[in-house]
């Protein structure tokens, strides 16, 4: 019975009225041994990442790589154009006039790093993703306005519907709902 | 700082000069800002304003159409004055855009909370100003359909752009600036688009905002990466904004033309850009807060701070004018000395004196607390500064080009009807875009305002 049910639900969700309650709930739930827990909030809540035990993200590394690619690629592209593809002898001046290539190198570094940061962030977040099970919860529209949500996901090895509902009640969540997975 | 005075960012000071009116909750800021877009009926005033702006933009379309048919001969430019209005307006518009990036990126890095309610429309202003600016060099080429020649691409002709030329640096600086500003603005908008998606009632609106929101659901894991990306973008946009106007100043200062060939140009151009940009933010913010009743979000503290930034950058610009004078005299270079004399006594001297009046003398009123807290004065002042900064670019471009090294190369410049039609037309385009923006997107960042509510409620505890 439990197994049959389990394949149709994404998790159990509880609602909170302010960020402090949310953090408290997340800490309690994680202390109870749940690992597949996620929180939803209308603005970034300070301390929530730590409460959820999120590691340092990869965005800054991707951004660095993008910047390096833009800068190094940009410089050597100009070098190749000026010395090989289209050399222009202007009064015998050196073809590799590198100081003149710096402004474009700089701009391309910034461009590469910014593109990498934005598209890297979206890719890691798996966005765009038009539909997600959490949107099945009718009250979830408040997650983009004034309410805070915690979801214990069914993928958690410890997941048990009644048990999860109980722990959410313990941390005083309102409107505890099952999240259906379709 | 004297003992007993609270530090500038203490809760006490913040309560005295709030960045947000009292008594707001997460729900009420969301309601108030999203209502402007979703539920408030479009007022007659909006339609009238939009219609006027759109008509003025129509004049620009006609002017550009005529330009494409006839060529740049319809403008007042001719050798030796090849630059004229197109470059004056280009530099003016791009400068205006700089305040948007400064507010959204530099003030974000400096943790200035007051930026929150003005950054969204300041960024929008940046984008629209860059769009207006970008058009001028494009149409100034005479054959805008060939503009792709400026980008490096493997052509069958086997030619490549000249990367040693400041004009090509300009292409890269401005297009990077446009791209990064657009991304910064859009990334900031994503959570608010999700709010609009969740709050709109009509199906088509839900679908459009839903697609733009990319499926944002406020997940803590998403916010975690989002904040990193936003901080990185702010860190990248900061050197970028300083580099863009520096590169634009290279268009002038790399040339050996008297009055252009000076090392003060990059910092003085950047300061001038921020000066005119803050003036434009005030020009937009003052009517916006009045019409949409946003006095609790864009408070007197914001207007006061922006006026102070204007005063400070205005003084840097004044220093730039002084150094231009001093260096010309001190160098003893007779062409530079002659150019200074031409500014003071030449045929374009009235423009120079008007510039000094608008950019240096009148803004000194901002030292007074009373003036900074008089909304009408600030509004007029913002327009005066915008005119002054336009005159500055006119003086730089026209006086130097009309008084070159040899008298046989001297000339005169006067703009034609089509010059004015194009310039005023771009203002129509700018205002049209602003009107559309405040109607369909939240002009104030809702997510960041909620954060501000959260922080101010903590202060009160």
ipTM of the complex: 0.93
**Contact criterion met (CB < 8 Å) for B232 and A113:** yes
Q: How far apart are CA A41 and CA B418, in angstroms?
A: 53
**pLDDT tens track for B109-136:** 888 888 888 889 899 999 999 999 999 9
B228 neighbors A60 (Cβ within 8 angstroms)? yes
Residue A180: phi and psi, rounded to 5, are -80, 150
Residue A98: what pLDDT?
A: 95
Q: How far apart are CA B433 and CA B135, in angstroms?
A: 15
A64–chain B Cβ distance below 8 A for any pair: no
**pLDDT tens track for B328-376:** 999 889 999 999 999 999 999 999 999 999 999 999 999 999 999 999 9
Q: How far apart are CA B40 and CA B34, in angstroms?
A: 9
Low-confidence ranges of chain A (pLDDT < 50): 1-4
Residue A1: what pLDDT?
A: 35
A68–chain B Cβ distance below 8 A for any pair: no
State the pLDDT confidence band at B102, using cuts at 50, 70 and 90: confident
Domain ranges of chain A: 2-56+133-180, 59-124
**Contact criterion met (CB < 8 Å) for B211 and A107:** no
Classify each residue of A50-66 as buried b or exposed e, where b means 16 or more C-beta atoms within 10 Å of its C-beta.
ebbeeeebebbebbeeb
**Contact criterion met (CB < 8 Å) for B218 and A81:** no
Tokens for A70, please give them: 């833009």
**Contact criterion met (CB < 8 Å) for A111 and B198:** no
Residue B4: what pLDDT?
A: 46
Q: How far apart are CA B348 and CA B366, in angstroms?
A: 28
A113–chain B Cβ distance below 8 A for any pair: yes
A96–chain B Cβ distance below 8 A for any pair: no
pTM for this predicted structure: 0.91
**pLDDT tens track for B240-299:** 999 999 999 999 999 999 999 999 999 999 999 999 999 999 999 999 889 888 888 888
Q: Give the residue from B144, B93, B123, B143 showing the smallest Cα distance to B424.
A: B93
Does position B21 have pLDDT exceeding 90, yes or no? no
Min Cα–Cα distance to chain A from B99, Å: 19
**Contact criterion met (CB < 8 Å) for A141 and B183:** no
Min Cα–Cα distance to chain A from B295, Å: 21
Classify residue B418 by burial, with Cβ atoms within 10 Å: 0-12, 13-18, 19+: buried
């Amino acid at each position: 019975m439990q197994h049959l049910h389990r394949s149709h639900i994404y998790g159990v969700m509880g609602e909170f009225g302010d960020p402090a309650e949310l953090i408290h709930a997340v800490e309690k739930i994680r202390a109870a041994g749940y690992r597949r827990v996620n929180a939803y909030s209308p603005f970034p809540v300070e301390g929530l990442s730590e409460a959820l035990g999120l590691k340092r993200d990869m965005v800054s590394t991707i951004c660095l790589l993008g910047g390096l690619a833009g800068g190094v690629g940009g410089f050597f592209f100009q070098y190749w154009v000026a010395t090989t593809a289209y050399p222009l002898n202007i009064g015998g001046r050196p073809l590799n006039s590198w100081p003149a290539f710096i402004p474009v190198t700089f701009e391309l570094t910034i461009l590469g790093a910014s593109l990498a940061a934005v598209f890297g962030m979206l890719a890691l977040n798996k966005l765009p993703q038009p539909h997600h099970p959490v949107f099945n919860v009718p009250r979830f529209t408040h997650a983009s306005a004034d309410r805070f949500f915690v979801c214990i996901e069914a993928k958690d090895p410890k997941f048990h519907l009644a048990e999860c509902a109980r722990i959410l009640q313990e941390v005083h969540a309102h409107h505890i709902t099952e999240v259906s997975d379709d | 700082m004297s003992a007993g005075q609270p530090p500038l960012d203490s809760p006490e000071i913040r309560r005295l000069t709030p960045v947000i009116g009292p008594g707001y909750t997460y729900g009420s800021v969301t309601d108030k800002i999203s209502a402007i877009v979703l539920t408030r009926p479009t007022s007659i005033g909006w339609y009238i304003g939009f219609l006027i702006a759109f008509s003025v933009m129509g004049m620009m379309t006609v002017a550009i159409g005529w330009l494409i048919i006839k060529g740049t001969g319809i403008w007042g430019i001719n050798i030796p004055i090849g630059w004229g209005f197109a470059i004056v307006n280009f530099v003016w518009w791009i400068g205006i855009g700089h305040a948007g990036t400064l507010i959204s990126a530099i003030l974000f890095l400096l943790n200035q909370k007051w930026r929150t309610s003005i950054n969204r429309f300041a960024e929008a202003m940046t984008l629209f100003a860059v769009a207006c600016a970008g058009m001028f060099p494009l149409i100034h080429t005479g054959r805008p359909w060939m503009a792709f020649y400026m980008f490096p691409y493997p052509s069958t002709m086997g030619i490549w752009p000249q990367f040693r030329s400041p004009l090509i640096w300009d292409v890269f600086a401005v297009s990077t600036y446009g791209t990064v500003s657009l991304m910064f603005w859009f990334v900031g908008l994503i959570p608010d688009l999700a709010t609009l998606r969740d709050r709109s009632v009509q199906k088509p609106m839900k679908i459009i905002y839903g697609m733009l929101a990319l499926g944002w659901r406020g997940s803590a894991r998403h916010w975690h990466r989002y904040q990193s990306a936003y901080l990185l973008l702010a860190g990248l946009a900061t050197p970028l904004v300083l580099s863009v106007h520096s590169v634009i100043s290279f268009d002038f200062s790399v040339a050996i033309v008297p009055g252009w060939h000076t090392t003060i140009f990059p910092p003085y151009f950047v300061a001038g850009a921020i000066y005119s940009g803050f003036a434009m933010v005030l020009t937009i913010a003052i009517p916006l807060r009045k019409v949409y009743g946003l006095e609790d979000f864009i408070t007197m503290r914001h207007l006061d701070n922006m006026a102070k930034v204007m005063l400070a950058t205005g003084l840097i610009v004044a220093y730039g004018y002084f150094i231009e004078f001093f260096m010309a005299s001190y160098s003893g270079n007779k062409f530079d000395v002659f150019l200074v004399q031409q500014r003071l006594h030449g045929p374009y001297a009235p423009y120079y004196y008007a510039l000094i009046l608008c950019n240096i003398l009148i803004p000194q009123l901002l030292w007074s607390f009373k003036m900074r807290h008089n909304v009408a004065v600030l509004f007029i002042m913002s327009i005066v500064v915008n005119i002054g900064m336009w005159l500055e670019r006119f003086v730089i471009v026209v006086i130097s080009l009309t008084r070159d090294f040899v008298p046989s190369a001297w000339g005169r410049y006067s703009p034609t009807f089509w010059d004015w039609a194009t310039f005023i037309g771009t203002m129509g385009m700018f205002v049209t875009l602003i009107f559309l923006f405040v109607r369909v997107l939240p002009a104030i960042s809702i997510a960041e305002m909620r954060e501000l509510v959260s922080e101010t409620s903590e202060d009160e505890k």
